[in-house]
Structure 1
Amino acid sequence: MRRLTNLARQAAPSDLPVLITGETGTGKEVLARFIHNHSGRPRELFAPYNCTSMPADLVDAQLFGHRRGAFTGAHEHALGVVRSVDGGTLLLDEIGDIDPRVQPKLLRLIESREVHPVGESRPSIVDVRILVTTNADLAQRVKEQRFRKDLFYRLNIVHIHLPPLRERRRDVPPLVRYFLHLFATHYGRQRLQMSGDAMEALMQYPWPGNVRQLVNEMHRLVVLAPGGTRITTQRLPFLEHGDSTPEPPDVSRETVTLSTDQPLATALEEVERALIVRALDSVDGRVTAAANRLGISLKTLRAKRRRLKIEPVP
């Protein structure tokens, strides 16, 4: 991993595009932010844009902007994502899925720093650093004529591939310690300790969800385990299922609204409640299965449900 971060650090000061590849969850966006933070524009905007998140017909207008009246529903002028991040860094996530009709405009942006908003007669000049990520094989997509060859060559000047976590097992212990400390600090809890057997098991686990799954598991442990607990393999039920187990509840994506003036204990209870409710929903209310999924005992789950008033507990 040190070799990859060194390469990213070397590429950061330039304005060259950087292509970051790897499986889902390997930390591609994290590395992109690292490059931005070590570039000549760290105080400028860093804007991720998911190329699969919008209908194909809207990607052009959303990325490059549009003039009022350029198409049905265009009631106002819009700068677009590219012009909005002028001076900063634009991360195009899952670039392999970007609509082919937009690819010529993207090539023009990289080569001449020009954008041509929909409905405008003249292009605009922008200063934007382009970083792209993908879990696809872009070279194969070029062969299949699903991705422009000239665009691929422009993006592939600096290529950083992030191996899956199962291929860099030595990274697991420092990641585990870092995220346990991060979440414990966030919630004001005593730091958890990982037993030697548990850490060895984590290193041998294939991590199908990569770093993202590890982050979710450490988050779950901090939320549900008593502070100062020494974590053993009994609190890591996902280890028993190998890569066939579904990913754990993603706390970072829970739609829990927390007020900034809430007491810490109240905020923590809301996150804990959301985790338990989601786990119960995912197994159709089967309490034993939910307890296994959460890595806590049935007795502990029942007690938490009573305390948090999550459905009547028989």
Structure 2
Amino acid sequence: MSGLKLFHTTDGGVTEVAPRLADVEADVQGLIERHMQTMLGVRFLASEYSTGAVHGGRIDSLGLDENNAPVIVEYKRGTDAGVINQGLFYMSWLLDHRDAFHRLVRERFGSAVATQVVWTAPRLICVAGDFSRYDVHAVREHRRSIDLVRYRFYGADHLSLQTVASVTGQPVGARVGSRVSRAPRVRAGAGAMEELAAAVDEVLRGLGDDVIAVQRQQYCAFRRLRNFACVCTPQQSKLLVYLKVDPTQVDLVPGFTRDVTGLGHHGTGDLEVQLRTDRDLERAEDLFRLGYAVA
């Protein structure tokens, strides 16, 4: 059970808003599917996707995350010990039917997006009323990328999503039993920029136990459920970080922060932060924390 307490405040005092579960599982699924990109950072692809007569299953939701990884989302109204194994069962099917997933992406988002799908770290997101300590332990023993997300409704208008556990698994194709290293560090060049990139990496990882680093060719994304920072491969004299922060809510400083809304760049986020020195990193830490808070 979630320990979150929510209160409605008025001039006359405060009233606790009691949490509740959905009446039926479909209420949670329908709401998240309609707003999947906002809530989970995942572009919605399909609902109740049939895995065929032989496999005999239906995947609750299919999507594509911000780093172009395939995503399976499974929902349970309350606590269900089988949700993780069910999701992994579907994950196995998906890895054997990549062409079907590519067709879905191509039909919904076009051929250009379909060619960018990354299969090294497909994700399973389990959304449920609650999870047991055995569930949390189990995800750490699996070789897949799994997020356990607890939901609660509050009153008629509020929904909370809380990450209970988030694990980056062994890359698909890696030899079973091989050593799984920690998520890769930000790629860096040499000298001062290499040291600065390492310092940024340390600061971003240190924002919370739920931070996951996802390495891509041109950037490293730092996420909770959604990306909150993307650190690009360092240039000769600066390091670019893109944050999921509204640029209109920040006092922009020429040469340090820039609104890149609508401008093409690697990674995700509308606020560009340019780092050249350790002093710049110190100035940026509040912005990093802001991005983390809203992810």
- For the aligned pair, the TM-score class normalised by the smaller chain equals under 0.3
**Greater helix share, 1 or 2?**
1
TM-score by length of 2: 0.26
Greater Rg over alpha carbons, structure: 1
TM-score by length of 1: 0.25
Structure with the bigger RCO (C-alpha within 8 Å, sep 6+) is 1
